Structure 1
């Protein structure tokens, strides 16, 4: 396991793959706004970013559990998930923006003609309008969602599908994500992996236990690997 700056050796790849929420895009405030709209509708106190941000990469159920806390197991979960998703879909990119350093990284990849793509567990009906709303993502060679195939992360199949579409071998394709399932999927696909420590990780200490090949505190750390 290597951290940024731990070695002078350069690692260069033919393609980069990114998770979306918590890696390329800071979507937490839009997701948090959707969560708080559901909490208000159910006469539950709203929560702050300290509560919803750590859950932002883990799906609607995790967000709702963070908001409803001990009440969550006894509630009509499917109905509340639909309410949250509907609210989020209506305001999908109101506050969302690229994390600092992402845009120059993607521009550099484009200039060097290195392919890059997106593999997210977000469902396609949310992924597609979100990616379309962010100009910096317009050159993605491939965008694969959680429901594009029959399996999603931590299965390696979506990552292998991305590599095939980009015509690169997995061992030369670096996958970057901010959740344990990202690192698990990348390793299972035979790809080198990097943890986006700037994302929605539970803690640095826990993220380091995932044993990614690299642990980066900023997207700028990726420049040594281009």
Structure 2
């Protein structure tokens, strides 16, 4: 292994860290189903997939705001969020799958002895059963959720915690995510960063404006960095 003072090349990462929703897993249709269940129960019009996919990484509040539109301001927000999360938790992996290329990438990392883990802002009570439901994720070295520590992304603390748990220098980690907060957190942790352009990004141009080290159109692009 190269000593830590030698500048990194794209091929010298000791660990890959991944966001979950919109990066490893396509969870949008399960989240959208939960949103639409709430909307229908309140007499509102369901949201089409092309609309909810763009905000699927932004949490329950953003999904509900999208669905209720101008009516969101007058809704009992805590109650609606509880409704959405309750439905989602009971149907957490009905439609969810790994994005195309992810399973091959994780197998390649395992075969090369490169550690990999998951850092998501999803709360642990949702993260843990979701990860357990996807066999492809069974070899994750670490899984850190949004409430594992006192701070979540864009704070770097959860990513630094991941590196500590894996026994890895953060500067030798690559963090891949599909939201601005992912790139902010990765940079603040001293990691290299890659934007998952296959995820729930607002637009290609906006995602590139986050100035990650890499902008990947497909998980296959990561193979050049193993």
Counterpart of 1:168? 168
- TM (norm. structure 2) is 0.95
- Aligned partners of 2:113, 2:141: CA distance in 1, in Å? 11
Q: How many matched pairs?
A: 218
The Cα of 1:10 is off from its aligned counterpart by 4.0
Secondary structure at the aligned position of 2:139 is classed as coil
User: What is the SS of the residue equivalent to 1:176?
Assistant: strand
Aligned counterparts of 2:187 and 2:144: Cα–Cα separation in 1: 18
Q: Which residue of 2 aligns with 1:99?
A: 99
**What is the CA deviation profile of residues 158-190 of structure 1, one whole-angstrom value per residue up to 9, with x for unaligned ones?**
000000000110110000000000000000000
Distance 1:113 1:10 in 2: 16
Unaligned runs of 5+ in 2: 1-8
Residue 134 in 1 paired to residue 128 in 2? no
Deviations 1:93-128 (A, max 9, x none): 000000000000000000011000000000000000
- Runs of 4+ aligned structure 1 residues displaced above 6 Å come to none
What residue number does 2:3 align with?
A: none
> Secondary structure of the equivalent of 1:190?
coil
Helix, strand or coil at the partner of 1:206: helix
Q: Map 1:140-219 to 2 at 5 A.
A: 140-219=140-219
TM-score (norm 1): 0.95
Partner of 2:69: 69
Structure 1 Cα separation of the partners of residues 84 and 15 of structure 2 = 34
2:6 maps to none
Match of 1:29 in 2: 29
Which residue of the partner structure matches residue 59 of structure 1?
59
RMSD: 0.7
Looking at structure 1, the residues matched to 25 and 221 of structure 2 have their Cα atoms a distance apart, in angstroms, of 17
Shift of 1:50: 1.2
The SS at the match of 2:117 is strand
Aligned mates of 1:11, 1:171 — CA distance in 2: 13
Q: 1:51·1:67 contact (CA, 8 Å) conserved in 2?
A: no
Q: CA deviation at 1:12?
A: 2.5
The answer for the alignment partner of 1:44 in structure 2 is 44
Q: Bigger relative contact order, structure 1 or 2, given CA contacts below 8 A and separation 6+?
A: 1
Q: Distance in 2 between matches of 1:19 and 1:91?
A: 21
Change (3 A) 1:95 1:213: same
Match in the other structure for 1:125: 125
Task: Supply the distance in 2 between the matched residues of 1:109 and 1:120 (Cα, whole angstroms).
Answer: 19
